[in-house]
Amino acid sequence: MSEGDVFHEKQRLELCAIHALNNVLQERVFTKETADDICKRLAPQCVVNPHRSVLGTGNYDVNVIMAALQSRELAAVWWDKRRTVQSLCMPKVQGFILNVPSRVSLGIVFLPLRRRHWLAVRQVNGQYYNLDSKLKSPVCAFTSFKMRLSQDVAEMLLVVRREVEEDGSWLNSDNPTK
């Protein structure tokens, strides 16, 4: 499969959480409107919703990602960085959503600010791809993915089916520290 055959949404506004969800699912499922509806359900009494930007440009938090996945019979499992990636039962993991530091820019000028950015990594036809919405196209990624995890700057969610999360089968059974 060529990189052109891999579904890849590109960055718009602060909608990286939506792009990461759609990229890991490999189809356009979620929109700004569906994410805003999730925010309203999570905090129905709030005038200023704590799960998104007050400017209405996105910047959704992890609660929105988790609720969105649950609506698709999926679950997000927080990855314990003390474990090695080899302890994962990879066939049970649909993909990964990472939250990483990201530089802020105004056009071509980078500001001395750091924000967090959601991105997806997923296997498609036996090949792992970095599906970061800030990239022009998907990038073959498993080696750089392992390196990024070892740098201890990324927070990672495993995207698994709900039953896989419930029975813990995302972790190799030969690993005694479940």
User: What is the side-by-side order of every strand in the sheet holding 74-78?
Assistant: 74-78, 155-161, 95-106, 109-124, 127-130, 139-140
Q: What is the distance between the alpha carbons of residues 143 and 84, in angstroms, rounded to a whole number?
A: 14
Q: What is the distance between the alpha carbons of residues 166 and 63, in angstroms, rounded to a whole number?
A: 18
Of the residues 8, 19, 51, 117, which is catalytic? 117
Of the residues 16, 19, 39, 51, which is catalytic? 16
Q: Look up 132 and say whether it is catalytic.
A: yes
Q: Look up 61 and say whether it is catalytic.
A: no
Q: Are 141 and 53 in contact (CB under 8 A)?
A: no
Q: Look up 46 and say whether it is catalytic.
A: no
Supply the residues annotated as catalytic.
16, 117, 132
